[in-house]
Amino acid sequence: MRFCSLVIVVAVDFLTPTSARASKGNGLAVKTAGGIIYGTVDSSTPAVRQFLGIPYAKPPVGELRFAPPQQPRAFQELNATALPPSCMQYLGGLPNIIINDVLEFNLGGSNSSDPLRVSEDCLTLSIWAPHSHKPNLPVLVFFYGGAFLAGGVDVPYQLPAQWIQRTQSHIVVSFNHRDNIFGFPNAAGLPLEEQNVGLLDQRMALEWVRDNIVSFGGDPERIGAWGQSSGSVAMAYYSYTYRDDPIVNSLIMDSGNEFIDILTKDPAHANFTFLASQFSCSNLDPAAELSCMRRVDAFAIEDFMRVYSDNGQVPIITFSPIVDNRTVFANYTTLAEAGKIAHLPVLIGSNAQDGEMFVSYYPDGVDTALADPITKAWFYCPTYRSAKVRTDGNTGPVYRYLYAGNFSNISPRPWMGAYHGAEVPLVFGTHPLYRGNSTQLEYETSYAMQDAWLAFVATAGEKPSIKGWDAWDEVDGGRVVEFGNGVPARLIDTAEMDRGCDSLPW
């Protein structure tokens, strides 16, 4: 049986067996503008309230498929006690490390495409908050990665309960948004400004958080946006799109930014039309083609794309953000130099072996002659460039980091090191939950990163948690924090590595 829509209930008796019964005094019944939301507490993290699967937009189904998100319907009561389905996606086409070795980056920790974990009715967010009922807590809103193809709230390594159980001093929000063809259709029948609806989903989620988070104990003036990989790319785009009203007070950008090019370049809309031709929607004018594709079963679309991709068929079809001059622009350097970017503090960095995720590997290692240039050209140098344009434009203090940990329960093959995404379980605090407990250094590195992320949002970049970690200045170099390389955190000088980036063609 496939997930369809969130279940709305009218009594708290339907709470799941593992949840505490909501009452007036325990904080599990929260009144919002949309209605009363009932949360839960898991026995493994008893000091954390969880509110799972709250709709922030209408289900994007029927005529709303491929359309910008719409405000959600009000409800009387909502049972938010179980992880919701993620948006439509399939596992094929993702890097081998995720599919073969570290399944905790996949939905539900699975190595297969599970139709029970996805639904087209997926525009929900989830909130984790301390049970202590402290008011005005800083809020981190997480933008997940997945190359604009996959991802969601239901990812084991990206569940924040362990982190909040430890600190009791902040709130984390994670949300689903549309990806692939459902988020970035690039259809001839849509106006240009409505092609990147997955990015518009992200804005609506942040608006919901701004308007409702105080009811959960959050401070709407201290909401920080934190993204990883394509989630960080999307955040970078966001800082240009909503420069005059960013909602957030800070940006944390992990291995992703506006200078990583994963855009779809298809001005003729050939990809959408090709896919439409596989479902008896061919030889139609743009409006009729769009209408026809809105009636095709969502799972049939995903199944076709999965098989087509896995078989390596041509032409290659891609659905990711396009330049629309609304949510994505063509020249970010020019915009930054003109001051057309949100003036926000930024914490930005990448991983020492980011590139290893994106090359073929063997049991004993990867070809570093292929992986190292990817690390430099796809991640390290774009990170340097994003930091540079923001520093040059005086958009706010920029703090840089490099993650360099190599821990066996996250990197089960010794050569993996600090691969793309390896920092995520340390920040979420999920690192000791799979493949054995963590080392003392791993715990200490996790705490250092958690405290740095939280302090950055809590103080809008004014008080870094690590002594001597000043805002980066490209002239002086240095003042970059390296996490996990023999010690939890240390200051390093990256001036020599940075100089190598200036020679790349931008």
Query: Which residues does residue 350 pair with via DSSP β-bridges, in sequence order?
Result: 402
The pLDDT of residue 93 is: 64
Strands 346-351, 137-143: parallel, antiparallel or unpaired by DSSP?
A: unpaired
**Separation CA 103–CA 112 (nearest Å):** 10
Tens-digit pLDDT profile for residues 192-212: 999 999 999 999 999 999 999
**Separation CA 48–CA 159 (nearest Å):** 12
pLDDT band at 33 (very low <50, low <70, confident <90, very high): confident
The pLDDT of residue 475 is: 67
Query: Which residue, 500, 248, 502, 498, is CA-closest to 396?
Result: 248
The pLDDT of residue 245 is: 96
What residues are annotated to the active site?
229
Match 């049991």 to its residue by tokens. Answer: 363
Query: Which residues does residue 419 pair with via DSSP β-bridges, in sequence order?
Result: 353
**Which residue intervals of 297-438 are DSSP H helices?**
298-310, 332-337, 368-374, 381-392, 424-428
Contacts of 100 (CB under 8 A, 6+ apart): 111
C-alpha separations of 331 from 244, 262, 336 in Å = 19, 14, 9
C-alpha separations of 505 from 188, 323, 356, 381, 500 in Å = 32, 20, 22, 11, 11
According to DSSP, residue 73 is labeled: P
Helices (H) and strands (E) in the chain, counts: 14, 15
SS3 content of the chain, % helix, strand, coil (to 5): 35, 15, 50
**Separation CA 104–CA 500 (nearest Å):** 34
The pLDDT of residue 95 is: 67
Determine the angle formed by the axes of helices 270-277 and 286-293, rounding to 10 degrees. Answer: 60
Tens-digit pLDDT profile for residues 227-249: 999 999 999 999 999 999 999 99
Domain residues of the chain, as ranges? 1-43, 93-263+321-499, 270-310
The pLDDT of residue 237 is: 97
Tens-digit pLDDT profile for residues 98-133: 888 899 998 888 876 667 789 999 999 999 999 987
**Hey, what CATH class is 93-263+321-499 in?**
alpha beta
